[in-house]
Amino acid sequence: MSETVLSVEDVRKDFPITRGVLERLRGRPQRAVHALNGVSLEVKRGETLGIVGESGCGKSTLARCLVRLLDLDGGRIVHEGTDVSGLTGPDRRAFNRRVQMIFQDPYSSLNPRMSVRQILTEAMRVHDMRPAAEIPARIEELLDLVRLPAGSADKRPHEFSGGQRQRIGIARALCVEPEVLVADELVSALDVSVQAQVVNLLLELQERLHLTVVFVAHDLRLVRHISHRVAVMYLGKVVEVAEAEELFERPRHPYTQALLHAAPSLDPAQRTRAVAARGELPSPIDLPSGCLFRTRCPHAFDRCVVEEPALTPRGTGHVAACHIDAPVFEAS
């Protein structure tokens, strides 16, 4: 495939837990939620990279690190050969112009007191995109691009439906003409019939504007539909990466297998009463030793307790982090 646009190298992110006065006096050690535990990934130009996993797997934290909304606690992120992990001031703004984020919740990510025109103008001003005189025409163009009705510019977010609000979010990201869009749960707050409209729009914009998209979501069907490649995360690590078809047809990590089996099928004939994965996510404060999935894995053996498996090749462009080469799914 083509060149790498963003490369994530062994990225770590901890969120310290506030200690009470008493705990500090007693000298209790500082504890932390380990949100990202060494994530490595590459984003290729023009592709859609899907990132899936359940709550607490670190996918949203990773998205925020990618656009530098969060500082890293280890590792680095390289954008077209430049390490962007430590960028500040104008350099960071320049980076953000090229790598933009769209947020999950269109209700809280748009300022309710600003009209659509003000929201878009602000974004363009911050990045010095256009001379003031050209902004109104550009706004019309953007609204047209995301298929919002003419005359939307002077309305405020609350006058729009959820799907339309998400289009405003997309227009705001696009007004700085970025190369990479990081979409965090873009459509999860929307009803299924409206989801499809927004997903179609994203696919169309990607073609027209040659965008690279990082699509973070928990909906496996959706991720399979729009992604070229998919990365599966569990407890702050990437456990498997492959091209979408390959990953869904031949998953090689027991967690990926469980995830795919747990997702309800639309075919009533494929029903089963067996549970796809036992147990629950371990605490991200006290991580298990060795393989992070071993506490729920039907295949776990001695080695999994002591040695953390690395991502190793399982075919063209397919990597998985498991000590077993080709585990066979077992329902519990």
Partner 1 sequence: MSLLRVRDLTATFGAGASRLTAVNRVSFDVAQGEVLGLVGESGSGKSVTLRALLRLLPVGGAVSGRVEWEGRDLVTAGDRELRAVRGRQISMIFQEPMTSLNPVLPVRVQIEENLRAHTGLRGRARTARAKELLDLVGIPDAGRRLDEFPHQFSGGMRQRVMIAIALASEPRLLLADEPTTALDVTIQDQILKLILDLKDQLGMSVVLVTHDLGVVAETCDRMAVMYAGRIVETGSVTDVFARPAHAYTAGLMASVPRASAARSVLHSIEGTPPQLDRVPPGCAFHPRCRFATDICRRDVPALEPRVGERLSACHHADAVAAEGSPV
Distance of closest approach, residue 120 Cβ to partner 1, in angstroms: 23
What is the phi/psi pair of residue 235, to 5°?
Answer: 45, 45
Alpha carbon dihedral 244, 250, 252, 255, in 10-degree steps, equals: 70
Q: Check if the beta carbon of residue 85 is closer than 8 Å to that of residue 10.
A: no
Using CA atoms, how far residue 150 sits from 7, 82, 147, 278, in Å, is 39, 40, 9, 51
Of 156, 205, 213, 165, the residue nearest 189 (C-alpha): 165
Q: Which is nearer to partner 1, 124 or 297 (CB)?
A: 297
Q: Check if the beta carbon of residue 8 is closer than 8 Å to that of residue 41.
A: yes
Distance of closest approach, residue 311 Cβ to partner 1, in angstroms: 22
Distance of closest approach, residue 221 Cβ to partner 1, in angstroms: 5
Q: Which residue type sits at 146?
A: V
Distance of closest approach, residue 304 Cβ to partner 1, in angstroms: 19
Q: Which is nearer to partner 1, 60 or 85 (CB)?
A: 60
Q: Which residues contact 48 (CB under 8 A, 6 or more apart)?
A: 206, 212, 213, 214, 215, 226, 227, 228, 229
Q: Which is nearer to partner 1, 199 or 324 (CB)?
A: 199
Q: Which is nearer to partner 1, 19 or 228 (CB)?
A: 228
Q: Check if the beta carbon of residue 99 is closer than 8 Å to that of residue 176.
A: no
Distance of closest approach, residue 128 Cβ to partner 1, in angstroms: 35
Q: Check if the beta carbon of residue 230 is closer than 8 Å to that of residue 43.
A: no
Site residues (vs partner 1, CB under 8 A)? 48, 54-55, 161, 163, 191-197, 199-200, 203, 218, 220-222, 224-226, 228, 244-245, 248, 258-259, 261-269, 271, 273-278, 280-281
Q: Which is nearer to partner 1, 39 or 198 (CB)?
A: 198
CA angle 250, 62, 212 (to 5 degrees): 70
Q: Which residue type sits at 144?
A: D
Distance of closest approach, residue 135 Cβ to partner 1, in angstroms: 29
Distance of closest approach, residue 54 Cβ to partner 1, in angstroms: 4
Quick check: helix, strand or coil at residue 261? helix
Q: Which is nearer to partner 1, 262 or 305 (CB)?
A: 262
Distance of closest approach, residue 222 Cβ to partner 1, in angstroms: 5
Q: Which is nearer to partner 1, 1 or 275 (CB)?
A: 275
CA angle 243, 232, 172 (to 5 degrees): 85
Q: Which is nearer to partner 1, 132 or 266 (CB)?
A: 266
